[in-house]
Chain A
Amino acid sequence: GDSVTQMEGPVTLSEEACLTINCTYTATGYPSLFWYVQYPGEGLQLLLKATKADDKGSNKGFEATYRKETTSFHLEKGSVQVSDSAVYFCALSEKTNAGKSTFGDGTTLTVKP
């Protein structure tokens, strides 16, 4: 079955540091890939997505590129802010599977001033 493996956390960075959160996946077909962010006490919300190989998703300074050859979708940001502190989830969904998403376990990011 499908699976998503995320870099284990927690991750603690100083403001303006670079961020990379690794995500690799296993899928039977050609999934769409997503990064969701969860702030304390809230539901998940979409951060960015990519629907086919070599697509780059970007939003709020975050980027991730769909790498089919390495089955990866790593999340990057060049300069993090305190407000980026949250839990980040990598996920995939397959068109042939009723859109049932498979999620990674989440990576908690804390950014210190």
Chain B
Amino acid sequence: NAGVTQTPKFRILKIGQSMTLQCTQDMNHNYMYWYRQDPGMGLKLIYYSVGAGITDKGEVPNGYNVSRSTTEDFPLRLELAAPSQTSVYFCASRRTENTEAFFGQGTRLTVV
């Protein structure tokens, strides 16, 4: 049972480059989320989705984009990377609105 899988685990980007963080889950969860975690801080919501074809902005969406073409996949796109996007990114999914979230292992991104 893989749960939530994120790739890559680590990445270094140069300012202005773009990349896609991949997230897939095999639990048939409708709800999926992208968070970023900065040192010593909690998680901030970037984007979320309540089902295939439906996405919405979270607390800190600027500089990011998402798509949800299937229930399983929820990739996060960074356009024109900036040093402020240096962070650890977590993808999560949940079965219903008030059940527990399952997290991926995270992607540590450094923008230089």
Contacts and interface: CB of A to CB of B under 8 A. Distances in A.
A30 to B, nearest CB: 9
A49 to B, nearest CB: 6
Contacts of B97: 93-99
Nearest to B45: A100
Contact of A95 (B58, B98, B104): B98
A38 to B, nearest CB: 9
B43 interface: yes
Contacts of B53: none
Contacts of B101: 34, 36, 44, 46, 93, 99, 101
A103 B42 contact: yes
Interface of A: 4, 31-32, 34, 36, 41-46, 49, 51, 89, 93-101, 103-106
26 contacts: A32-B98, A34-B101, A36-B101, A41-B105, A43-B90, A43-B105, A44-B43, A44-B90, A44-B101, A89-B42, A89-B43, A94-B97, A95-B97, A95-B98, A98-B97, A99-B33, A99-B94, A99-B96, A99-B97, A99-B99, A100-B58, A101-B33, A101-B45, A104-B42, A105-B42, A106-B41
